[in-house]
Amino acid sequence: MKFTPKIFNSHPKTDGVFFGGIKRILGFKPKDLSIYKKAFLHRSLNKRDGLGNPMNYERLEFLGDALLGTVISKHLYQEVPGGDEGYLTKMRSKIVSRKHLNELGKDLNLLKLVESRIPKSHFGENIYGNVFEALIGAIYLDKGYDQCERFIYERVIDPYVDIEQLEGKVISYKSLVIEWCQKQKKEFHYEVYEDTGNDELKHFAVKLTIDNRIMAKARATSKKKAEEKASKRAYYALQDKIESN
């Protein structure tokens, strides 16, 4: 008589923690766990598949970004029938902004599942949004478009998308300040100046000058962030003038 052992758990013990964690995030059982594992592999591991192709979250991130944009676009198209192309594009940008996606990734505690050779404390903020998009790509490959769309509605649209609120949300203070300066024919310059800070992580110091007058200064971990921070300060200093035009 041939004995067939009973399989109590189809997932190896080494997959148990990951399987439990990803199931809690998804709200359903994953079918192909290997796809989700790839969504949490950082390129620093330098892993490759049997054909020598790189294995990390970046390709899934590309796919997830496209899917997220498609579902959000469909939602806005249906919810705002009077919105023209420019309006719809602007609203979609607000919903899928890097800052918003980073917040979503943090809320889901995605960094906990990321495998990397780099200490997690060294990652920038964008890791959260990147992995969130990769997760969406993995859901699509594992469960198809309908399940992917449901996940985006449950995790993004239903809890966070409020059309009226988004209409008043600023995407980029830098864009607003530059647009105002150009309309008013004012000269403006963003200049990186010497930073004597003793932070362990490198910071950039930026000053924004408008018509030879320093309007704001700011420091951040990247030049782009410092410029946006300085722009925000300048915007509020000039708010009455900017909003009256």
The DSSP letter of residue 198 is -
Please calculate the CA angle 94-99-104 and round it to the nearest 5 degrees: 95
The four Cα atoms 101, 102, 104, 109 give a dihedral, to 10 degrees, of 150
Q: At a CB cut-off of 8 Å and minimum separation 6, what does 189 contact? A: 208, 209
Our answer to whether residue 240 is catalytic in this structure is no
Angle between helix 85-95 and helix 58-79 axes, rounded to 10 deg? 130
Instruction: Tell me if residue 65 is catalytic.
Output: yes
Q: Which of 49, 58, 65, 84 is catalytic?
A: 65
In angstroms, the first-to-last Cα distance of the chain is 88
Q: CA angle, 75 as apex, 135 and 82 as ends, to 5°?
A: 150
Active-site position among 133, 142, 149, 227: 133
Residue 68: name the closest of 32, 25, 105 by CA.
105
How far apart CA 208 and CA 233 sit, in angstroms, is: 10
Rounded to 5 degrees, what are φ and ψ at 215? -95, -30
Query: How far lies 224's CA from each of 60, 170, 202, 204, 219, in Å?
Result: 26, 16, 13, 9, 10
Residues forming the active site: 65, 133
